[in-house]
A and B are shown apart, each in its own frame.
Chain A
Amino acid sequence: MESVDLIYKAIYILVIFGITLLIATYSTYFERKIAAFIQDRVGPNRAGPAGLLQPLADAGKLFFKEDFIPTKANKALFIIGPGIAMLVATMSSAVIPFGDMLIVGGREIWLQAIEVNIGVLYVFGVVSLGVYGLMIGGWASNNKFSLLGAIRAASQNISYELAMGLSLIAVLMMTGSLSLREIAEQQQGFNWNIWYQPLGFLIFLVCAFAECNRTPFDLPESEAELIGGYHTEYGSMKLGMYLFAEYINIFVASAVMSTLYFGAYNFPFMENLRAAISDPVLANNVVTILGVIVMFAKIFAFIFFFMWVRWTLPRFRYDQLMKLGWQILIPLAILNVVLTGGAILLKDYLF
């Protein structure tokens, strides 16, 4: 690889990292704001205009709190736990195509950190590792409630990973590729996967909620039963890291869902727009930048949906959670795979 390309990649990765952290930071603000609005309140509005500096105030508070480690905790693992959670959360945005190709000075710049031909599997693998942060942290705390939270997290993640993978397979059968960029390219214009995979999307959505430990599947950290679950013993910035990791996970899940089912950076009439501008380079750049904006709009819509659901639905009971995962979602996902396969065969037969 050329050194210029390397520098560009480094800059791009830093930018994506920064955006991820920024979105995670402001997710806390919007979570509180949306919660307040849904409950007919106004939410944080004291720090800065409309409370916009609230996340900074929260971060400042977390940084200056006493960094406390329980006496009987396993010190090394207690510290590693939030680190793993954070590391794994930030890793997964590497393969997501936030946009198409920009042409700057004759150089093609792809708006994706790394292009691998197993992008979907990469995301899937990294997401499946996220549970280690919770488990190690929960176990190292040496506290019953933390341990219960960790165990819940583990069994929940494993159960829902299966249904998630199966619902993904239908998409992969349609697109015939594991590369996220190729999946995005195939959904040109308004030809989004959601029109062909509504059931698969629904299953994926439910599983994404479960994988992110969001309400109604937030059993690992349920305040009412487990006093906060795996992060009961955590305080200061280590707690902050766990919360941060959760919001980054939401961001990544939103980005993956937009890419897989909602056409990533594609938007209706993008080809008409491209044809309307005479200069091909300019046309490409305009369409690409609009595409990035559209992609982030989709991601924000999903993040809003995550929060909207959190303040609407109550928490599941644990046996209901397991029943939903194993007895409903997995058979539905298999049915979806079979239906997709049949439809593909029928299409080949007819046309």
Chain B
Amino acid sequence: MESLSNRSKKVQKREMTFAERAYLPAIAQGLGITLKHFFKKKATINYPEQTRERSDVWRGLHVLKRDEKGAERCTACGLCAVACPAEAITMTAGERKAGEEHLYREEKYAVTYEINMLRCIFCGMCEEACPKAAIFLQDDKLAPARYERDEFIYGKDRLVEPLKTTETK
């Protein structure tokens, strides 16, 4: 039968030559290959001391940014949740009360904001969709491995950028 790709090879069943039967040339060849690997550059990265080099546009762990005064930028518009192809983002919106102006930039803000890191595919669509430049994917942080599934649901406590408390002028 004609094969579809024309790439199949005929199985040859010829007698082995003496050199092949003696195994020694093959063994010497194998030893040569392993010796070559012995002197090769190692693929290992000694993790805590070294880290793998990442691209400048690496998309890692999300962060919810604050503005220059330290107020949260997110207004809970939900565009990121809509844009998310993995449906990893949920949030509930709330209204800012008087006296909270230093916490939230606009009248509407996200009371809860959760990203399920097991669903997230780190595509960066949320970042692109955000009209307020509130969510970004950091290029230096990863979502690390954890023991429990619910630990992978990152809330605002772990997503919002920490306040710069030790600001020096």
Residues of A with Cβ closer than 8 Å to B? 34, 37-42, 45, 308-309, 311-313
Contact = CB atoms under 8 A, between A and B. Distances in A.
A41 B37 contact: no
26 contacts: A34-B38, A37-B38, A37-B42, A38-B34, A38-B37, A38-B38, A40-B37, A40-B40, A40-B42, A40-B43, A40-B44, A41-B42, A41-B43, A41-B44, A42-B44, A42-B46, A45-B46, A308-B31, A308-B38, A311-B34, A312-B27, A312-B30, A312-B31, A312-B33, A312-B34, A313-B27
A42 B42 contact: yes
Nearest to B43: A40
A171 to B, nearest CB: 21
Query: Could you tell me the dominant secondary structure of chain B's interface residues?
Result: helix
Contacts of B27: 312-313
A40 to B, nearest CB: 5
B37 A37 contact: yes
Contacts, number: 33
Contacts of A42: 42, 44, 46
Interface string B9-40: 00000000000000000010011011101101
A313 B38 contact: no
A20 to B, nearest CB: 26
Contacts of A37: 37-38, 42
Query: Could you tell me the dominant secondary structure of chain A's interface residues?
Result: loop
A313 B34 CA distance: 10
A41 B37 CA distance: 10
B34 A308 contact: yes
Contacts of A45: 46
B127 to A, nearest CB: 36
Nearest to A309: B31
Contacts of A38: 34, 37-38
Interface in B96-136: none
A34 B38 CA distance: 8
Contacts of B37: 37-40
A287 to B, nearest CB: 32
Interface string B43-61: 1101000000000000000
A298 to B, nearest CB: 18
B25 to A, nearest CB: 13
B5 to A, nearest CB: 31
Contacts of B42: 37, 40-42
Contacts of B35: 308
A311 B30 CA distance: 10
Contacts of A309: 31
A174 B27 CA distance: 29
Contacts of B43: 40-41
Interface string B134-169: 000000000000000000000000000000000000
B46 to A, nearest CB: 7
A194 B33 CA distance: 25
Nearest to A311: B34
A308 B39 CA distance: 13
Nearest to B39: A37
A34 B31 CA distance: 13
Given A40-B37, A41-B42, A309-B31, 16 more contacts: A34-B38, A37-B37, A37-B38, A37-B42, A38-B34, A38-B37, A38-B38, A39-B37, A40-B44, A42-B42, A42-B44, A45-B46, A308-B34, A312-B30, A312-B31, A312-B33
